[in-house]
Amino acid sequence: MLGSTGIGAELLGLKEEVRMKAMVLREFCEIELEGEARKRTDLPLKKAPLEMAELPAPTPDLKQVLIKVSACGVCHTELDEIEGRLVPPQFPIILGHEVVGRIERLGSGVTKFTLGDRVGVAWIYSSCGRCDFCLRGDENLCDQFQATGLDAHGGYAQYIVISEDFAYPIPEKFSDSQAAPLLCAGVIGYRALRLSGIKPNQVLGLYGFGASAHIAIQVANHWGCTVFVFTRKGQKEHQALAEQLGAQWVGATGDTPPEKLDAAIDFTPVGEPVREALGVLKKGGRVVINAIRKINPIPELDYATYVWHEREIKSVANVARRDAEEFLPLAAQIPIIPSVQEFELQEANQALRLLKAGRMRGAGVLRISE
Ligand SMILES: [Zn+2]
Ligand SMILES: [Zn+2]
């Protein structure tokens, strides 16, 4: 579907630069929430951490595509970037790593896509393509791994450029807004499942029940696994949702499930679930930790109780191309349809405040161009 805008930009690009609107982050700040007087950091307090700017649209180089962005998901990672827990190499930076749009220009070396194709962009923006990790498909571990919306400009904008190798076709099943959250929570949840080594009909434990776990449980059910969900004590809403999404048993971290686990995935930011999961694992089982950092240590592990009999601990770092390539068609087939709350691009600050306050209903998505 090649629109007139596509051709227009192509011609314009040769003569004069195309301008675009973007919401940019110029400095770290603490996001100010309504009715919350307490300041937690030394950073300036701002209700509106991002600023609307008009910038030259990027131009694709040899192997890159220019995407006209139609939707971009709003993720907790953006809160970490704004409040300085994740540090971009330069300011200003355009955030956003759950990007959906149509290809409007092609670098001269692009072979995988044509103008008008609908594609998505995830957290992985690029990698070196030559190291051992890249060559074996673990480009998420590459020393030169770059993240979208952190090391390179992301999707809170009308346009983004990215290598054709890190753009993924979006199945027809999804609207632009529905596809956006799948590109982060979905792809990461899928990677964690994959690394857990779980097989059909086995027993899987999920610790913590946020966005990634919501999606992982639907994939595990589809594979015929028995899924047990462990949440913090008293998290009634999460527990009810877990049951609704097909958990066969729901309890609190530290509870003994009806059967031992073949594998467990820990989606929590704390240390205790790692030990608790090891404690209810079968011999030879594996615990996968899906967290960049833990806010408190993993408790001491008594070797005989928690580790002996070939039990394993493995962490998940970033995502690889293969995770997005495999997960998107699988999500369409199951299907996994995220519920979303939509905002205009200029309402990004409002969306970020809702997310920080825990008041977002479903996944937040910015609608950018039609
Ligand atoms: Zn994310
Ligand atoms: Zn590499």
SS (H, E, C) 221-276: HHCCCEEEEEECCCCHHHHHHHHHCCCCEEEECCCCCCCCEEEEEECCCCCHHHHH
Q: Rounded to the nearest whole angstrom, what is the distance from the C-alpha of residue 126 to the centroid of ligand 2?
A: 9
Q: What is the pLDDT of residue 293?
A: 81
Backbone angles phi, psi at 181, to 5 degrees: -65, -25
Average pLDDT, the chain: 93
Among 282, 292, 132, 137, CA closest to 212: 292
Q: What is the mean pLDDT of residues 265-276?
A: 96
Q: Which residues contact 26 (CB under 8 A, 6 or more apart)?
A: 51, 91, 92
**In which band, very low, low, confident or very high, does the pLDDT at 37 lie, cut at 50, 70 and 90?**
low
User: Is 102:116 a contact under the CB 8 Å cutoff?
Assistant: yes
Q: What is the pLDDT of residue 307?
A: 97
Distances (CA, A) of 267 to 9, 169, 190, 206, 300: 43, 27, 12, 7, 19
Judged by its nearest atom, the ligand closest to the C-alpha of residue 187 is: 1
Instruction: Find the range with the poorest average confidence among 11-20, 108-117, 259-268, 351-360.
Output: 11-20
**In which band, very low, low, confident or very high, does the pLDDT at 12 lie, cut at 50, 70 and 90?**
very low
**In which band, very low, low, confident or very high, does the pLDDT at 252 lie, cut at 50, 70 and 90?**
very high
Higher per-residue pLDDT: 41 or 57: 57
Among 191, 201, 205, CA closest to 311: 205
Judged by its nearest atom, the ligand closest to the C-alpha of residue 155 is: 1
Q: Rounded to the nearest whole angstrom, what is the distance from the C-alpha of residue 116 to the centroid of ligand 2?
A: 30
Q: Rounded to the nearest whole angstrom, what is the distance from the C-alpha of residue 181 to the centroid of ligand 1?
A: 8
Judged by its nearest atom, the ligand closest to the C-alpha of residue 321 is: 2
Distances (CA, A) of 293 to 70, 109, 125: 32, 39, 21
Provide the total of helices (H) and of strands (E) in the chain, helices listed first. Answer: 10, 20
**In which band, very low, low, confident or very high, does the pLDDT at 6 lie, cut at 50, 70 and 90?**
very low
d(CA 10, CA 59): 10
The neighbouring-strand residues paired with 163 are 64
**Residues, beta carbon < 5 Å, ion ligand 2:** 127-128, 131, 134, 142
| Confidence check: pLDDT of 78 > 80 | yes
Q: Rounded to the nearest whole angstrom, what is the distance from the C-alpha of residue 300 to the centroid of ligand 1?
A: 31
Q: Rounded to the nearest whole angstrom, what is the distance from the C-alpha of residue 143 to the centroid of ligand 2?
A: 6
| Confidence check: pLDDT of 131 > 90 | yes
Q: Rounded to the nearest whole angstrom, what is the distance from the C-alpha of residue 360 to the centroid of ligand 1?
A: 15
Residue with tokens 């054709």: 164
d(CA 244, CA 301): 34
DSSP state of 47: S
User: Residue 285: exposed, middle, or buried by beta-carbon count in 10 A (0-12, 13-18, 19+)?
Assistant: buried
User: Is 118:170 a contact under the CB 8 Å cutoff?
Assistant: yes
Q: What is the pLDDT of residue 114?
A: 98
Q: Rounded to the nearest whole angstrom, what is the distance from the C-alpha of residue 129 to the centroid of ligand 2?
A: 5
Judged by its nearest atom, the ligand closest to the C-alpha of residue 142 is: 2
For residue 71, give the 3-state DSSP assignment: strand
Q: What is the pLDDT of residue 16?
A: 60
Q: Rounded to the nearest whole angstrom, what is the distance from the C-alpha of residue 356 to the centroid of ligand 2?
A: 34
User: Is 173:179 a contact under the CB 8 Å cutoff?
Assistant: no
C-alpha torsion 9→15→21→27, nearest 10 = 140
Judged by its nearest atom, the ligand closest to the C-alpha of residue 210 is: 1
Q: Rounded to the nearest whole angstrom, what is the distance from the C-alpha of residue 366 to the centroid of ligand 2?
A: 31
d(CA 326, CA 219): 12
Cα three-residue angle 137-141-143, rounded to 5 degrees: 120
Instruction: Report pLDDT digits (tens) over 299-336.
Output: 999 999 999 999 999 999 999 999 999 999 999 999 99
Q: What is the mean pLDDT of residues 127-151?
A: 97
**What count of Cα atoms within 13 Å lies in the side-chain half-sphere of residue 18?**
25
Judged by its nearest atom, the ligand closest to the C-alpha of residue 121 is: 1
β pairing state of 312-315 and 64-74: unpaired
Judged by its nearest atom, the ligand closest to the C-alpha of residue 131 is: 2
d(CA 244, CA 250): 11
Q: What is the mean pLDDT of residues 167-179?
A: 98
Among 257, 253, 304, 311, CA closest to 287: 311
Q: Rounded to the nearest whole angstrom, what is the distance from the C-alpha of residue 110 to the centroid of ligand 1?
A: 27
Q: What is the mean pLDDT of residues 18-38?
A: 91
Higher per-residue pLDDT: 222 or 11: 222
Q: What is the pLDDT of residue 11?
A: 44
Q: Rounded to the nearest whole angstrom, what is the distance from the C-alpha of residue 119 to the centroid of ligand 1?
A: 17
Judged by its nearest atom, the ligand closest to the C-alpha of residue 147 is: 1
Q: Express as a percent the part of the chain with pLDDT over 90.
A: 84
d(CA 110, CA 123): 21
